[in-house]
């Protein structure tokens, strides 16, 4: 049975939220250095507040050397979007149950639009951080709601491919952000350059919002709200698993009853310790590679290696293309090659590439070695962690706990992303090449974890996975 046009169109529109996700995440890489130069005085004013002896307690005095560094406060400003992402990943789930997936996606579209224009028109570090925080809320919400909406409108035969398209769009959004930053830089806009970099995002955000008016509401949500007739009409348009709409409605009602019962099952208990630890560890290692430092500070890193402004942005585009190509390759073979094998290849790639980058900075051999190292690094990430993390987390929890397991993995991922991104400017300033060596050592830890603790879930039924983990 061929997929209907409205199903494909609706999935593509929802996946556009993933493109905004990726764009919003990466766009700051081209502008953060200009923002540090522009608002360095504001950072120093804040640092002086923490430097006044009369304002300091004995405990605070111990932290003053950190709090007095402008790099620390610049990291806070850059990470403001990620702070919003952590909150957004937890904030929009319940409202989507009450108001609907499509309605919340519209709200997220508005947040993206307001964040883009507000960031472009910001009048200081505080206002900029507030608008970036709003964009972070949208990113966090999109990471939960867009895949959920696509899964709920899609028949099982195409669900995996359509949901995976969100991940593809995230990577495409990162590439488009790098490409957009490079094009804006070539326009020689001077002091307005960074404003245009952020303002560009308002266009796809507006397209996303308007397009959502041409998508149906989730049939699963409609049944939960008693809108059976509208749910029937949607299923007739998007298709069903069996070709029988009435059978699909019965199955949806049954799943809703099971879901209501599952909410009574406690999550944090010894019985589920193994999948909880697996989810937390893979999410932590995902960020301990330094991937978000590369995405947020790509231009700065290449300038550290000796590249000039335009060259640094052009190299960012190369990184974005590499990310896209290897993500596509991994998604094409993940169900044939296996999750653990991809993670092993990715872990070795991380270690080799980060060693090359650290050596390139240490030896002063210049930007070419660093560029090659980072191309291998982003390829290793896209082929390993980037492709595996969300699939693996969705497989290791029992049906009754899967949603909460996904939330735990998402929260851990974004919390670590905040930590890594906020501290990178300070650590890069103090440690230089050693920061990349530290990320490499962390990836040795990931390699050992994959070899000793990570189970292979390819081709194993969800029930058998639960049995192997001792949580049936």
For the chain, percent of residues with pLDDT exceeding 90:
33
Q: Quick one: CA torsion of 394, 277, 435, 317, rounded to 10 degrees?
A: 0
pLDDT score recorded for residue 45: 62
* 282: pLDDT strictly greater than 80: yes
Q: Which stretch of 14-23, 93-102, 318-327, 460-469 has the lowest confidence by average pLDDT?
A: 460-469
Owner of token pair 């296996």: 338
Q: 70-74, 99-103, 245-249, 384-388: which range is least confident on average? A: 70-74
Q: Is 228 exposed, middle or buried (0-12, 13-18, 19+ CB in 10 A)?
A: middle
pLDDT at 105 over 90: yes
Helix (H, G, I), strand (E, B) or coil at 136: helix
Please indicate whether residue 141 or residue 41 has the higher confidence score (pLDDT).
141
Q: For residue 79, is pLDDT > 80? A: no
Instruction: Tally the C-alpha atoms within 13 A of residue 166's C-alpha that lie toward its C-beta.
Output: 24
Supply the pLDDT for residue 60: 42
Distance CA 141, CA 91 (A): 7
Contact 204, 23 (CB under 8 A): yes
pLDDT score of 207 more than 90: yes
Over residues 148-194, the pLDDT tens digits come to 788 788 886 776 677 767 778 888 998 999 999 999 999 989 889 99
Looking at domain 1-215, does it have CATH number 1.20.1250.20? yes
Note whether 453 and 281 are within 8 A (CB).
yes
Instruction: Give the pLDDT score at 286.
Output: 94
d(CA 132, CA 383): 29
pLDDT at 55: 45
Contact criterion met (CB below 8 Å) for 234 and 222: yes
Q: What is the pLDDT of residue 284?
A: 96
Which pLDDT score is estimated for 1? 43
Q: What is the CATH number of domain 266-472?
A: 1.20.1250.20
Residue 195 reports pLDDT greater than 80: yes
Give residue 188's region: left, alpha or beta (phi > 0; psi -120 to 50).
Answer: left
Return the pLDDT at 309.
59
- Total length of the chain: 472
Q: Which of 74-88, 318-332, 342-356 has the highest mean pLDDT?
A: 342-356
Query: Which pLDDT score is estimated for 262?
Result: 65
Q: Which of 176-180, 376-380, 406-410 is least confident? A: 406-410
pLDDT tens-digit map of 13-67:
998 998 998 898 888 888 877 887 777 665 566 556 555 544 444 454 444 455 4
Spatial CA neighbour of 194 closest among 40, 71, 79, 30: 30
The single residue listed with the structure tokens 């390759």 is 329
In the chain, what percentage of residues exceed pLDDT 70? 87
DSSP secondary-structure letter at 243? Answer: S
Contact 366, 270 (CB under 8 A): no
Mean pLDDT of 443-454: 96
Distance CA 296, CA 294 (A): 6
Would you give the DSSP letter of residue 189?
-
Is the fold of 1-215 the same as that of 266-472?
yes
What is the separation of C-alpha 278 from the centre of its chain, rounded to a whole number of angstroms? 19
CB burial string 117-150: b at 16+ within 10 A, e below = bbbbebeebeebbbbbbbbbbbbbbbbbbbbbbb
Whether the per-residue pLDDT at 431 is higher than 50: the answer is yes
Backbone angles phi, psi at 68, to 5 degrees: -85, -5
pLDDT band of residue 246 (cuts 50, 70, 90) is confident
Q: How many CB atoms lie within 10 A of CB 403?
A: 18
Choose between 387 and 379: higher pLDDT: 379
HSE-up of residue 408 (Cα within 13 Å, Cβ side): 21
Locate the domains of the chain by residue range.
1-215, 266-472
Residue 205: per-residue pLDDT: 96
Q: Backbone dihedral region of 107: left (phi > 0), alpha (psi from -120 to 50 degrees) or beta? A: alpha
Instruction: Identify the pLDDT of residue 56.
Output: 45
Q: Does the structure show a pLDDT above 90 at 288? A: yes
Q: Which residue has the higher pLDDT, 116 or 397?
A: 116
Tell me the C-alpha distance between 369 and 362, whole Å: 11
């Amino acid at each position: 049975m061929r997929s209907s046009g409205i199903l494909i169109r609706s999935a593509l529109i929802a996946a556009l939220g993933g493109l905004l996700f990726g764009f919003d995440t990466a766009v700051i890489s081209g502008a953060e250095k200009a923002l540090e130069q522009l608002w360095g005085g504001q950072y120093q004013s804040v640092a002086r507040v923490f430097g006044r002896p009369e304002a300091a307690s004995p405990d605070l005095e111990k932290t003053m050397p950190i709090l007095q560094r402008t790099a620390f406060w610049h990291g806070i400003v850059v990470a403001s979007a990620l702070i919003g992402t952590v909150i957004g990943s937890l904030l929009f789930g319940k409202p989507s149950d009450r108001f609907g997936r499509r309605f919340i996606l519209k709200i997220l579209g508005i947040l993206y639009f307001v964040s883009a224009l507000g960031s472009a028109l910001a009048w200081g570090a505080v206002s900029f951080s507030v608008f970036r925080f709003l964009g972070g809320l949208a990113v966090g919400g999109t990471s939960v709601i867009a895949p959920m909406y696509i899964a709920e409108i899609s028949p099982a035969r195409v669900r995996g491919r359509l949901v995976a398209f969100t991940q593809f769009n995230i990577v495409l959004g990162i590439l488009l952000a790098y490409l957009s930053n490079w094009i804006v830089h070539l326009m020689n806009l001077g002091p307005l350059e960074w404003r245009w970099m952020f303002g560009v995002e308002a266009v796809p955000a507006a397209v996303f919002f308007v397009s959502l008016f041409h998508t149906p509401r989730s049939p699963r949500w409609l049944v939960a709200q008693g809108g059976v007739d509208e749910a029937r009409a949607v299923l007739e348009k998007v298709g069903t698993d069996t070709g029988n709409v009435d059978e699909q409605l019965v199955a949806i009602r049954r799943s809703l009853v099971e879901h209501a019962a599952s909410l009574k099952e406690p999550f944090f208990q010894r019985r589920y310790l193994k999948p909880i630890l697996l989810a937390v560890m893979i999410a932590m290692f995902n960020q301990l590679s330094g991937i978000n430092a590369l995405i947020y500070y790509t231009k700065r890193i290449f300038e550290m290696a000796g590249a000039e402004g335009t060259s640094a942005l052009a190299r960012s585009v190369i990184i974005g293309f590499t990310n896209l190509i290897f993500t596509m390759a991994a998604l094409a073979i993940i169900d044939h090659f296996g999750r653990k094998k991809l993670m092993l290849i990715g872990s070795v790639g991380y270690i080799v590439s980060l060693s090359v980058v650290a050596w390139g900075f240490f030896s002063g051999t210049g930007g070419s070695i660093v560029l090659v190292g980072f191309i291998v690094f982003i390829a290793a990430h896209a082929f390993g962690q980037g492709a595996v993390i969300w699939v693996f987390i969705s497989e290791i929890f029992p049906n009754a706990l899967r949603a909460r397991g996904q939330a735990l993995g998402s929260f851990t991922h974004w919390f670590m992303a905040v930590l890594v991104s906020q501290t990178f400017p300070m650590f890069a300033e103090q440690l230089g090449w050693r920061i990349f060596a530290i990320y490499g050592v962390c990836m040795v830890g990931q390699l050992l974890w994959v070899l000793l603790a990570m189970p292979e879930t390819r081709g194993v039924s969800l029930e058998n996975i639960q049995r192997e983990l001792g949580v049936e």
